[in-house]
A and B are shown apart, each in its own frame.
Chain A
Amino acid sequence: MTPATGSGAAPRPFLGGGSRSRAHRVQAAAFGVLGLGTMLIVGPVLWFFGYVIVHGASQINWTFLTQPPNAIDASGGIFPAIIGTLYLMVGTVLIAMPLGIAGAIYLTEYAGHSPIVRLIRLAIVNLAGVPSIVHGLFGLGFFVLFVGGSIDAFILHSNRPVWGQPCILWGCCTLAVVILPIIITSTEEALLAVPASFREASLGLGATKWHTIRSVVLPAALPGVLTGAILGVGRAAGETAPVMITCAASFMPTLPRGLNDQAMLLPYHLYFVVTQVPNPSLGLQSGIALVLIGLVVSINASGIYMRMRARRARKW
């Protein structure tokens, strides 16, 4: 026997040990393959962000962010698309939040374990899985043509489409359906994290159920609820397919004047420039992509940061 050394007494190292059994050689090979597979994902991810940043960064300046695009080659700026996207983000969250919060309150505070809850959960999962282009078709068929068309025909008695056309309002409604599952799920998580003792204490003091929810549960869950709203907004800002047939204008140098106006949107503007504008410069395309990615990533990052802070600041 060789004298026991420090390393001999220690557990056998996983990679790069001295004498290794067959099982350990198999393990080294398997871990090598897994590492290689990981690099084949991570490498392209790094290349992707590098590509967009390298080609797009030089494009971004004050003019690009504050001027409308040129009608001929879309050069110039993307100001109306940025503003349109901001309008849509605000409108979408204003519609989706009340609906989503009400739904989450029902699921956590009222529903219990009835069979209807399982059906609602199945519906949420499926709503989250509906392809975005189907959301777009639904928005076109339901909001634009059915609801909007009915308003025009029966209320305004107008032959010219006023509401029965793609516009900001219907884009917001369509996107609100897209982000509803995100809002419900995050709000539910936030409400479930509020300890039952909070509710019991409030009910024990004679408060009603709604009074308890309004003044004890919701304030305690507020950071989590806002996180959900922020993540939803981040999703809404980047979606293209649902809005391209319900809201987006391909070229519109002026800002929208009302809810029944179309709007330029960052994601659709990128699609339009890449596919419809003849010979757009790589810098222009990458610049739009970089602004879009930057917007979406920073919204999400602030949401995630807020969630982390809320979890840490929890006093219970």
Chain B
Amino acid sequence: MATPKRSLRERAVEGVVFSGGMASIVLVALIFLFVLKEALPLLKDYPLSRFLTDRGWQPTLAPPEGPWFGLLPNVWGSFLVTAGAVVLSVPLALSTAVFTSEVAPSWLRDMLKPLVELLALVPSVAIGFVGAVAINPLVKDLFGLDTGKSAIAGSIMLAFMAAPTIATIAEDAINAVPRSFRDGSLALGATRWQGISGIVLPAAKPGILAAVMLGVGRAVGETMVVIMVTGNAGVLPDKGIWYAFTHSVRTITGTIGAEALEVANGEPHYRALFMLGVVLFTITFVLNAIAHYSLGKGDRRAQA
């Protein structure tokens, strides 16, 4: 009879699709474990305490002076550039989200939304290119610097890049707030703005938080833009925050991207780049987990 043969095929198919389902889990685990596996042997040559506390990154400095594989200047650079990008992009992106979803008439919304989404499609290397040829010279002239390759140029371009992500996800969160919330507020005599600021935005808060987290995650993890506009050289801040912003910085992603092509397999420098990868993976994992959790919370509340 055909039945046993058919059920065998059914089970085979189930096995295949199950492995397809597991692929995501396996890949995330594999990425983390493999990057970690390539990184860990660094600690034989360079103790963890030095990696975590050394203030310099000078991978090609010959012994006995070097080499230096300090995490701090990389983390500092990533933090500085990302913080600047957040300060610039979050207010503007949230304004855009509220304006397009709540204020703009529908013809204007139909023009603004595709434009913002179009920017989200642009490859980051193209954004980095415009940053390098147009924004770096502008920053140089504006602040009277020797070179425009600076943290602030990185912040501007990252803000530009993260804004569509934040605006689109925040807008989804605002649109998910039931219409009855707005109607109820209007019926009680509140203005539309009172309804937005007092009812709609608080209700959309988990989604907005997720939008900001995903935007920050995108900025921290972005490579091409920062390689092209920040100069990839930097030390810890000794001369104040403004000096740091207007000079070159070294970010985690920029260091990996700029140096990964030059290293030989297995040498300490190669291991150190993978160690930076482990740090970066961990940072973005935490940001994504926060975003995922707050989106989940938002969903549950909207259903209630």
Q: Among B116, B128, B192, B222, which residue has its beta carbon within 8 angstroms of that of A42?
A: B116
Given contacts A133-B221, A293-B123, whether A271 and B23 have CB atoms under 8 Å apart is: no
Verify A102–B257 contact, CB threshold 8 A.
Answer: no
Verify B20–A99 contact, CB threshold 8 A.
Answer: yes
Identify whether the interface residues of B are mostly helix, strand, loop, or mixed. helix
- Contact partners of B167 in chain A: CB under 8 A: 41
Answer whether residue B106 sits at the interface, using C-beta atoms and an 8 A cutoff: no
Chain B: minimal CB distance from A255 (Å): 22
Answer whether residue A263 sits at the interface, using C-beta atoms and an 8 A cutoff: no
Verify B121–A300 contact, CB threshold 8 A.
Answer: yes
Cα distance A48–B157 when bound, in Å?
Answer: 11
| Stretch binding the partner chain, chosen from B26-34, B43-51, B58-66 | B26-34
Answer whether residue B200 sits at the interface, using C-beta atoms and an 8 A cutoff: no
Cα distance A34–B18 when bound, in Å?
Answer: 48
Answer whether residue A45 sits at the interface, using C-beta atoms and an 8 A cutoff: yes
Cα distance A230–B35 when bound, in Å?
Answer: 30
Residue of A nearest to B287 (CB): A129
Chain B: minimal CB distance from A43 (Å): 10
1/0 contact trace for B227-245 toward A, CB 8 Å?
1100000000000000000
The A-B contact count (CB < 8 A) is 265
Verify B193–A131 contact, CB threshold 8 A.
Answer: no
Verify A297–B221 contact, CB threshold 8 A.
Answer: no
Answer whether residue B178 sits at the interface, using C-beta atoms and an 8 A cutoff: no
1/0 contact trace for A22-51 toward B, CB 8 Å?
011011001101111110111011101101
Given contacts A103-B23, A137-B256, A240-B123, whether A34 and B132 have CB atoms under 8 Å apart is: no
Answer whether residue B191 sits at the interface, using C-beta atoms and an 8 A cutoff: yes
Chain A: minimal CB distance from B303 (Å): 16
Q: Among B14, B92, B133, B197, which residue has its beta carbon within 8 angstroms of that of A30?
A: B197
1/0 contact trace for B207-223 toward A, CB 8 Å?
00000001001001111
- Contact partners of A78 in chain B: CB under 8 A: none
Verify B126–A293 contact, CB threshold 8 A.
Answer: yes
Verify B285–A131 contact, CB threshold 8 A.
Answer: no
Chain B: minimal CB distance from A289 (Å): 5
Verify A142–B221 contact, CB threshold 8 A.
Answer: no
| Stretch binding the partner chain, chosen from B67-75, B79-87, B139-147, B272-280 | B272-280
Answer whether residue A100 sits at the interface, using C-beta atoms and an 8 A cutoff: yes
Verify A41–B126 contact, CB threshold 8 A.
Answer: no
Verify B284–A102 contact, CB threshold 8 A.
Answer: no
Given contacts A138-B35, A267-B125, A292-B126, whether A122 and B292 have CB atoms under 8 Å apart is: yes
- Contact partners of B291 in chain A: CB under 8 A: 129
Verify B24–A181 contact, CB threshold 8 A.
Answer: yes
Answer whether residue A19 sits at the interface, using C-beta atoms and an 8 A cutoff: no
Verify A131–B222 contact, CB threshold 8 A.
Answer: yes
Cα distance A239–B125 when bound, in Å?
Answer: 8
Cα distance A142–B194 when bound, in Å?
Answer: 55
Answer whether residue A84 sits at the interface, using C-beta atoms and an 8 A cutoff: no
Cα distance A46–B126 when bound, in Å?
Answer: 15
1/0 contact trace for A127-142 toward B, CB 8 Å?
1011111111110111
Chain A: minimal CB distance from B149 (Å): 11
Verify A140–B260 contact, CB threshold 8 A.
Answer: yes
Residue contacts A-B, CB under 8 angstroms, 5 given:
A120-B24, A136-B256, A209-B10, A244-B257, A296-B122
Query: Which 4 pairs from chain A and chain B are nearest by CB?
Result: A102-B20, A37-B95, A131-B221, A238-B123
Extra contacts, 14 of them, besides A138-B34, A274-B129 (Cβ < 8 A), are: A14-B191, A34-B95, A34-B103, A41-B96, A48-B119, A102-B20, A126-B28, A126-B288, A126-B289, A126-B292, A127-B31, A134-B31, A240-B223, A240-B224
